[in-house]
């Protein structure tokens, strides 16, 4: 069922089917404006409103707060469709919809106060790069964060920070440094225009600084404690589950583009159609095989995880193999999509190298997103370490938040 956005009196899709259909309808417009998005180095304001109006930012909010309350599988499909239109738009949608996922860790009162509509987006980082001094009623936050995707249009900006009391760093029950995520208003943040990137140029992933800003306690959270919801979307890995939708959407777009060319292209030297060329047939068949394999693996893992959590199994009671499966397959989707697009880029040869070739942009976008921590070797190491009782270098990858 659709709902009404009180800010602009417009009807917003509010089910998985409705949001997916609305996003698919946006794809041609996004594709047409991909060059503009890239050159702007951020999403144009009207594109942000189209994404908002399609219901993307509300996907993770509970129905209690007017949200669509989509499953991780539904979220991933929507982001896949959004990225099919434009990769930067898909990336910003993936980051922006974290509003609803963060809301699980805020009190109900705070959610209602901070998010009067579920169509508000977040941007920024959760990495604890900042310092938060405890003061009466909250924290005094200072720090510098980089790669703050979506900050140019966010309604709230996230900033992870280690906490301090009377100048001494706080530690948790395990003796590790305590950290929390702070949500601050854009007016309290200084954006630094550093985003001159290889790819994902339209994501507006600027650096940002916060200097001595007071953050109420209610506007901060820890992933270890869900306050306003239970179920699969209250588990700490919920933020990561939908990420593969972005590389999957980009790879699918590149595959369809290459197939369309192969149907009509003729070898200029021999006059033979590409559709009868063994090299072309093999390359496309192999890329499709790899895409189908990794896509089914991603969604199969998500569905298994969701069913287990929905049945009441606590996240901490998942087996070690279950804990690592989803994050490893997410990494595989990032790297696999890059591999597919690189092969298609080579297949199309010089056709790929001229801007604004979409193949050139997809290759650069995927190269850039594969620099994200979720596509790095540390994820594989952390999964392997967790399986044998060792020390994960990035414990958040396997849902360890303290």
Please tell me the pTM assigned to this model.
Answer: 0.95
The reported pLDDT for the residue numbered 173 is 84
The reported pLDDT for the residue numbered 355 is 80
Q: What is the mean pLDDT of the chain?
A: 95
Distance CA 78, CA 76 (A): 5
The reported pLDDT for the residue numbered 174 is 83
Q: Phi/psi at 156 (nearest 5 deg)? A: -135, 145
Tokens 């979409």 found at: 358
The count of other CB atoms within 10 Å of the CB of residue 388 is 7
Tokens 């997809």 found at: 362
Residue range 106-146, pLDDT digits in tens: 999 999 999 999 999 999 999 999 999 999 999 999 999 99
Structure token pair of residue 113: 């106060």
The reported pLDDT for the residue numbered 314 is 93
For residue 7, is pLDDT > 60? Answer: no
For residue 41, is pLDDT > 80? Answer: yes
For residue 22, is pLDDT > 70? Answer: yes
Helix (H, G, I), strand (E, B) or coil at 40: helix
Across residues 264-290, what is the average pLDDT? 95
Helix ranges (DSSP H) in 213-319? 238-241, 245-264, 278-310
Distance CA 80, CA 78 (A): 5
Does residue 193 have a cis bond before it (omega within 30 degrees)?
no
The reported pLDDT for the residue numbered 400 is 83
Give the helix/strand (H/E) hosting 53: helix 45-53
The reported pLDDT for the residue numbered 9 is 57
Sign of the CA dihedral running 105, 109, 112, 114: negative
Terminus-to-terminus CA distance in the chain, angstroms? Answer: 39
Distance CA 370, CA 364 (A): 10
The reported pLDDT for the residue numbered 6 is 47
Q: Rounded to the nearest 10 degrees, how much is the dihedral formed by the CA atoms of 104, 383, 179, 313? A: 30
Across residues 213-235, what is the average pLDDT? 95
- Contact status, residue 47 vs residue 23, Cβ threshold 8 Å: no
């Amino acid at each position: 069922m659709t709902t009404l956005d009180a800010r602009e009196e417009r009807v917003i899709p509010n089910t998985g089917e409705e949001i997916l259909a609305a996003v698919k309808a946006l794809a041609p417009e996004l594709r047409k404006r991909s060059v503009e998005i890239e050159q702007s180095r951020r999403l144009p304001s009207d594109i942000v409103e189209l994404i908002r109006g399609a219901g993307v930012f509300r996907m993770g909010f509970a129905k209690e707060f007017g949200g669509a309350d989509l499953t991780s599988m539904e979220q991933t499909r929507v982001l896949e469709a959004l990225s099919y239109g434009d990769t930067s738009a898909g990336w910003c949608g993936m980051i922006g919809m974290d509003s609803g996922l963060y809301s699980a860790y805020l009190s109900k009162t705070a959610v209602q106060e901070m998010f009067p509509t579920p169509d508000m987006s977040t941007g920024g980082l959760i990495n604890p790069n900042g310092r938060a001094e405890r003061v009466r009623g909250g924290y005094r936050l200072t720090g510098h964060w980089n790669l703050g995707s979506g900050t140019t249009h966010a309604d709230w900006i996230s900033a992870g920070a280690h906490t301090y009391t009377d100048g001494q760093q706080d530690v948790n029950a395990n003796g590790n440094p305590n950290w929390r995520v702070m949500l601050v208003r854009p007016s309290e943040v200084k954006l630094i225009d550093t985003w001159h990137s290889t790819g994902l140029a339209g994501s507006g992933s600027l650096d940002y600084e916060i200097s001595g800003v007071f953050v109420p306690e209610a506007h901060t959270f820890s992933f270890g404690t869900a306050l306003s919801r239970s179920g699969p979307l209250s588990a700490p890995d919920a933020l990561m589950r939908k990420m593969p939708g972005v590389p999957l959407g980009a790879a699918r777009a590149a595959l369809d583009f290459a197939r369309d060319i192969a149907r009509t292209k003729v070898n200029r030297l021999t006059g033979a159609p590409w559709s009868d060329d063994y090299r072309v047939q093999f390359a496309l068949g192999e890329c499709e095989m790899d895409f189908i394999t990794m896509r089914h693996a991603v969604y199969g893992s998500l569905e298994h995880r969701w069913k287990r959590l929905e049945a009441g199994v606590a996240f901490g009671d998942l087996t070690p193999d279950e804990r690592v499966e989803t994050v490893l397959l997410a990494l595989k989707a990032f790297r696999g999509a890059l591999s597919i697009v690189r092969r298609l880029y080579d297949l199309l040869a010089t056709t790929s190298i001229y801007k604004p070739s979409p193949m050139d942009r997809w290759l650069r976008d995927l190269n850039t997103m594969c620099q994200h921590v979720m596509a790095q070797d540390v994820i594989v190491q952390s999964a392997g370490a967790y399986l044998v009782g060792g020390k994960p270098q990035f414990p958040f990858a396997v849902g360890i938040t303290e």
